[in-house]
Structure 1
Amino acid sequence: MLAPPAQHGMTVLNREAFKLSFQTLAVRVPAKGVTQLQKSLQKDVLLLPRLRSVANDPDSKDIKLVLLREDLTNIESLTSEKKKVVDEQGLAVVHHTVELGYDYWTADQILHAIIPLDKVKEIPTSFTNVGHIAHMNLREDLYPWKHIIGQVILDKNKTVTSVVNKINNIDTKFRFFEMEVLAGDKNMVTEVKESNCRFQFDFSKVYWNSRLHTEHERLVKEFQKEQLVCDVFAGVGPFAVPASKKGVNVYANDLNPESYRWLKNNKALNKIPDSRLMPYNLDGAEFIQQAVKDLSEKQGNTTWRTFDHFVMNLPDTAIEFLGAFTGLYKDQKALYDAADPKPLLPMVHCHCFTKSDEPAKDIAERVEHYIGSPYDPATSKLHFVRNVAPKKDMYCISFRLTPAMAFGTSIEKRKQDSDPSSPPTTKRQAV
Structure 2
Amino acid sequence: MNVLGFRVFFRKMSTLKNFSLIPVGVRGMKVLDRMKFLRNIEIPLIKVSVENLSKIRQHCKQYFLKLDNFKPVQDFEDEKFKKCIYLNPETITQWGDISESVRDALFSNGIDENNYSTKVVQLTYENWRFDAIFKAVLPENEEIVSSFSQIGHIIHLNLREHLIEYRQLIGQVLVDKIKTCRTVVNKSNIIDNTYRNFSMEVIAGDEDYLVTVKENNCIFEFDFSKVYWNPRLCREHERILALLKPGDVLFDVFCGVGPFSIPAAKRKCTVYANDLNPDSFKWLNHNAKKNKIILSLFKSYNLDGKDFIYNIFKDYLIEYCNQNKQKGLKIHVTMNLPAMAVQFLKYFKGLIDDKQHLDKFDCEIIVYVYCFAVGDDPDSIARTMINDSIGCDMSKYIMDVFDVRNVSPKKEMMRVTIKLTKEVLFDTNIYEPPNKKLCVND
- Gaps of at least 5 residues in structure 1 are 74-78, 415-431
Residue aligned with 1:374, SS: coil
Shift of 1:265: 0.6
Residue aligned with 2:272, SS: strand
Paired-residue identity, %: 38
**Cα separation, 1, equivalents of 2:289 and 2:273:** 14
Contact conserved, 2:348 with 2:424, CA < 8 A, in 1? yes
Residue aligned with 1:172, SS: coil
How do residues 124-273 of structure 1 correspond to structure 2 at under 5 angstroms?
124-273=145-294
Contact conserved, 1:260 with 1:281, CA < 8 A, in 2? yes
Q: 2:65 aligns with which of 36, 48, 54?
A: 48
1:402–1:181: structure 2 CA closer, same or farther, 3 Å change rule?
same
- Report the residue type matching 1:147 in the other structure: Q
Q: Hey, what does 1:395 align to over in structure 2?
A: 414
- Report the residue type matching 2:346 in the other structure: G
**Cα separation, 1, equivalents of 2:209 and 2:410:** 32
Q: Hey, what does 1:111 align to over in structure 2?
A: 134
Relative to structure 2, which stretch is displaced further, 197-206 or 367-376? 367-376
- Gaps of at least 5 residues in structure 2 are 1-19, 96-102, 434-442
TM-score (norm 2): 0.78
- Report the residue type matching 2:281 in the other structure: Y
Contact conserved, 1:34 with 1:64, CA < 8 A, in 2? no
Contact conserved, 2:251 with 2:272, CA < 8 A, in 1? yes
**Cα separation, 2, equivalents of 1:349 and 1:110:** 42
Contact conserved, 1:329 with 1:407, CA < 8 A, in 2? yes
Residue aligned with 1:308, SS: strand
Contact conserved, 2:346 with 2:390, CA < 8 A, in 1? yes
Structure 1 residues 341-397: Cα deviation after superposition (integer angstroms, max 9, x where no partner):
x51452221111111334343333332232233325266221221111111111111
Query: Is 1:21 paired with 2:44?
Result: no
1:237–1:26: structure 2 CA closer, same or farther, 3 Å change rule?
closer
1:353–1:399: structure 2 CA closer, same or farther, 3 Å change rule?
same
Q: 1:347 aligns with which of 363, 366, 369?
A: 366
Residue aligned with 2:190, SS: strand
**Cα separation, 2, equivalents of 1:405 and 1:344:** 13
Q: 1:66 aligns with which of 84, 98, 101?
A: 84
Contact conserved, 1:373 with 1:405, CA < 8 A, in 2? no
Contact conserved, 1:326 with 1:406, CA < 8 A, in 2? yes
**Cα separation, 1, equivalents of 2:111 and 2:422:** 87
Q: Hey, what does 2:11 align to over in structure 1?
A: none
Shift of 1:400: 1.8
Q: 1:2 aligns with which of 21, 26, 29?
A: 21
**Cα separation, 2, equivalents of 1:194 and 1:223:** 16
Q: Hey, what does 2:313 align to over in structure 1?
A: 292
Residue aligned with 2:82, SS: strand
Aligned residue pairs: how many?
Answer: 392
Contact conserved, 1:376 with 1:399, CA < 8 A, in 2? no
**Cα separation, 1, equivalents of 2:300 and 2:184:** 31
Structure 1 residues 270-328: Cα deviation after superposition (integer angstroms, max 9, x where no partner):
11011111110011101112213553686594448887122111111111111211221
TM-score (norm 1): 0.80
Q: 1:408 aligns with which of 420, 427, 437?
A: 427
Residue aligned with 1:261, SS: helix
Q: 1:382 aligns with which of 396, 401, 405?
A: 401
Contact conserved, 2:271 with 2:299, CA < 8 A, in 1? yes
Q: Hey, what does 2:350 align to over in structure 1?
A: 327
Shift of 1:112: 1.7
1:230–1:99: structure 2 CA closer, same or farther, 3 Å change rule?
same
Q: Hey, what does 2:297 align to over in structure 1?
A: 276
Shift of 1:38: 7.2
1:351–1:35: structure 2 CA closer, same or farther, 3 Å change rule?
closer
Contact conserved, 2:47 with 2:85, CA < 8 A, in 1? no
Query: Is 1:363 paired with 2:382?
Result: yes
